[in-house]
Amino acid sequence: MPTPHVETAKIDELDCWRIRHNGAELMVAQQGAHIFSYGRDGEQPLIWPNPDAVFKQGKGIRTGVPVCWPWFGVFDRNPQSVKAMRQGDQPAGAHGFARTARWELAGTELEGEALRVDLVLPVPTGGFPGWPHLVDLRLSLLLDDQLHIRLTSHNRGTHTVTFSQALHTYFAVSDVRNVQVEGLDGSAYIDTADGWSTKQQFGLLHFTGETDRIYLDTPAQLSIIDNDWQRRIQLTSQGSKSTVIWNPWTERAKAFDDMADDGWTGMLCIETANVLDDVVSLAPGESHTLGVSIAGIAL
């Protein structure tokens, strides 16, 4: 559906959309409805521009905003209620199947000064392979002076469906060793890099090594403070009480074929999520929206 704001593009094997509105540009791959670039004219990018990202069919893109659904992370680490939804003996890839499925552009619309773009994931007859549930997915993107991302799941089946999910956002930072995350003081978290032990955050979060944490009962607003770039990336979440924060640091980054050995310095993942005790259960006819609004604010 061409509009003055949306044009098609091809990057290696993947069809994409370039969306421009009100001094901002957004790049989205049709595979996974995957935002892989976002920034405002004249400013540092808000999404990490990974030059080694791979745009291949069937492979997740390591940058931007992967849509993790209907499970998050390693399948076997999910609660039993999420695992029970899956059928079949085929291996369950990390982060579910939505991030490599082919989505469709459902429409674009101006809402006042904002541009709205809707993407949908069609449900095959009988449901998805190994996951035979009738849940419609819609990713709504709203561009004004911020980027608003809303992932809505609607259960149009006849039984309750339970899933975990995340908007697995890779943010661009000047140097992760010099930034802090504000808003987590007092929050409990699971430190998956330290044997899944339970700990508590005190003060600002600083980064001095590999970080892979699931924060519990997190507030709706968090910020990345980046003094070198003189900005705050402010995140306002919706429909989420859990937040995953990740940076692979030196050794894990070297194991990735789609990230430079020093790529970890310029990125930080803060993932708006529904995981562990925060998973979503939808009775027939119910819907749930997971969302995050992203704003770059000068310090």
Helix (H, G, I), strand (E, B) or coil at 157: coil
Helix (H, G, I), strand (E, B) or coil at 204: coil
Catalytic residues: 168, 271
Element (H or E) spanning 294, and its range? strand 287-298
Helices (H), 69-191: 80-83
Helix (H, G, I), strand (E, B) or coil at 51: coil
Contact 139, 33 (CB under 8 A): yes
HSE toward the beta carbon, residue 82, CA cutoff 13 A: 24
- The β-bridge partners of 34 are 29
Element (H or E) spanning 34, and its range? strand 34-40
Q: Which of 299, 287, 161 is nearest to 225 (CA)?
A: 299
Task: Please list, in sequence order, all residues whose beta carbon lies within 8 angstroms of the beta carbon of residue 68, skipping any fewer than 6 positions away.
Answer: 95, 96, 98, 99, 164, 165, 166, 167, 168, 271, 273
